[in-house]
């Protein structure tokens, strides 16, 4: 591959402009200096065919072509790729006009779960392109840089050998390259979404933005949760009216500055297993009453991730207590987005439950316990897992025939 560009010294949170071509489409991005190419391809350009496994250059899932040579996208920073020609698995073939390698993998059953398939396709493309005379007995070693968890190696070797045998005079090039619109999950920085991307990337800066614009499209997490508090509505109203107190009820969150005009600066910390995220950002209260709140927020974390959210909170009387309802749309980019929707959703819901408990405490005149401590993410995860196991057991109990099975097992 060509020598990656050396980037002038820059702070790890600064956005760096970079231009390259992906599958024939010129792209201009402004990305955090430490954002990997694999994250930029997936999150900013929507090219999720490049899979991420180990993020340490071991498993080969993220293999792509840079200037015609196979490279690990997880080992490169996006900002190093200025001027590069990148080919991802999306560029290899079209659904109705597959590349011979894709067609051969299907015919030889070289894909099972498909997780390693993009890596194997791009790796074997590179191999056959550079070594058209490769012998079958050399294929296992040559392709050993990609790991198949389903252990489908025999069929994968058959598939690659078939293409090699039939294309000794040259492998056909990628069949799906050309100008097209590329839009990521958060449209930060693609040329195709230049106006919106500029708005979003400028917005996640150090100074308060004029406006928070949420990305269009489906959020990473959508939450609609309700819980009933013991405290009566008039006590909960006192918490809603005191924005500092309300902020202290949010697990791991801290309001650091009131900026006027219903704008606030704050930070939030979340630790998910070994991953520690520290978000700094802004919140804008679009509506703030004693029984309702509409908030837009955005923040960036020190590892280059970004979060944007729209939250509606509503408190209505329920018996002698108060029903607290939260609806949220959350857009995530970066490491946290890699957790997957359902787990991130579980964690968010658990955090809302902790928030609701803290509001109840504050309404009783006690200091909320969550304070500015980072949420015990391990506890949250364990709780989320416990909920999952519980709901799976519940489903099993309700499944037809489960009674007989349980009886049998117990007997
Ligand atoms: S994700 Fe890049 S090598 Fe494993
Ligand atoms: S087909 Fe499942 S990991 Fe290879």
pLDDT value at residue 194: 33
CA distance 53 to 75: 12
Q: Is the CB of 68 under 6 A from ligand 1?
A: no
Within its chain, how far is the Cα of 138 from the centroid?
37
Secondary structure (3-state) at 278? strand
pLDDT at residue 372 greater than cutoff 50:
no
pLDDT at residue 243 greater than cutoff 50:
yes
pLDDT value at residue 22: 95
Weakest-pLDDT range from 14-28, 165-179, 203-217: 203-217
Which of residues 159 and 300 earns the better pLDDT score? 159
Q: Are residues 159 and 213 in the same domain?
A: no
Instruction: Report which DSSP code applies to 136.
Output: G
Has residue 248 been placed in a domain? yes
Residue ending a domain, among 133, 166, 199, is 166
Q: Are residues 225 and 302 in the same domain?
A: yes
Q: How far is the CA of 362 from the centre of ligand 1 (A)?
A: 46
CA distances from 293 to 20, 22, 29, 225, 296 (A): 43, 43, 35, 15, 10
The residue whose CA has the least distance to atom 3 of ligand 1 is 57
Within its chain, how far is the Cα of 143 from the centroid?
29
Has residue 200 been placed in a domain? no
Which of residues 211 and 6 earns the better pLDDT score? 211
pLDDT value at residue 402: 44
pTM of the model: 0.51
With 0-12 / 13-18 / 19 or more C-beta atoms within 10 angstroms meaning exposed / middle / buried, residue 372 is middle
Cβ neighbours of residue 78 closer than 8 Å, sequence gap 6 or more? 18, 29, 31, 35, 36, 37, 39, 40, 44
Residues 386-404: tens digit of each pLDDT = 555 555 566 566 555 444 3
What average pLDDT is seen over the chain?
A: 80
CATH number at residue 377: 3.30.530.20
Q: Which atom of ligand 1 is nearest to the CA of 58?
A: 3
Domain containing residue 126: 15-166
Q: Which ligand is nearest to the CA of 116?
A: 2
CA distances from 232 to 96, 239, 248, 325 (A): 62, 11, 20, 15
Weakest-pLDDT range from 112-121, 135-144, 265-274: 265-274
Q: How far is the CA of 222 from the centre of ligand 1 (A)?
A: 29
Has residue 184 been placed in a domain? no
What do you get for the CA distance between the two ends of the chain, in Å? 64
């Amino acid at each position: 591959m060509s020598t990656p560009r050396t980037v002038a010294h820059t702070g790890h949170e600064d956005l760096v402009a970079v231009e390259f071509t992906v599958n024939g489409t010129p792209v201009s991005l402004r990305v955090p200096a430490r954002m990997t190419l694999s994250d930029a391809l997936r999150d900013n350009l929507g090219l999720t065919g490049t899979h991420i496994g180990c993020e340490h250059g071991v498993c080969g899932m993220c293999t792509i072509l840079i200037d015609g040579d196979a490279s690990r996208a997880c080992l490169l920073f996006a900002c190093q790729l200025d001027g590069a020609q990148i080919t991802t698995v999306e560029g290899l073939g079209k659904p109705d006009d597959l590349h011979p390698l894709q067609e051969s993998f299907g015919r030889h059953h070289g894909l099972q779960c498909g997780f390693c398939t993009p890596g194997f396709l791009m790796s074997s493309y590179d191999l056959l392109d550079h070594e058209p005379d490769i012998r079958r007995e050399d294929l296992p070693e040559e392709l050993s840089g990609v790991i198949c968890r389903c252990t489908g190696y025999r069929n994968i070797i058959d598939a690659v050998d078939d293409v090699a045998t039939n294309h000794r005079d040259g492998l056909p090039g990628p069949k799906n390259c050309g100008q097209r619109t590329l839009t990521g999950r958060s449209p930060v920085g693609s040329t195709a979404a230049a106006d919106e991307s500029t708005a979003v990337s400028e917005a996640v800066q150090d100074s308060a933005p004029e406006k928070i614009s949420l990305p269009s499209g489906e959020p990473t997490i959508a939450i609609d949760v309700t819980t009933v508090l013991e405290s009566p509505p008039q006590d909960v109203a006192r918490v809603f009216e005191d924005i500092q107190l309300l902020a202290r009820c949010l697990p791991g969150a801290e309001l650091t500055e009131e900026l006027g005009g219903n704008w606030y600066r704050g930070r939030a910390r979340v630790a998910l297993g070994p991953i520690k995220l520290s978000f700094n950002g802004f919140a804008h209260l679009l509506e703030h009453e004693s029984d309702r709140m509409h908030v837009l927020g955005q923040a960036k974390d020190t590892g280059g991730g970004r979060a944007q959210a729209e939250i509606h909170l509503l408190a209505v009387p329920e018996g002698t207590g108060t029903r607290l309802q939260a609806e949220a749309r959350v857009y995530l980019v970066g490491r946290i987005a890699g957790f997957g929707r359902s787990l991130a959703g579980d964690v968010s819901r658990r955090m809302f439950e902790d928030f609701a408990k803290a509001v109840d405490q504050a309404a009783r005149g006690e200091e909320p316990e969550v304070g500015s401590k980072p949420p015990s993410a391990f506890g949250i995860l364990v709780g989320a897992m416990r909920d999952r196991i519980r709901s799976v057991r519940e489903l099993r109990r309700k499944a037809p025939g489960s009674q007989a099975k349980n009886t049998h097992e117990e007997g």
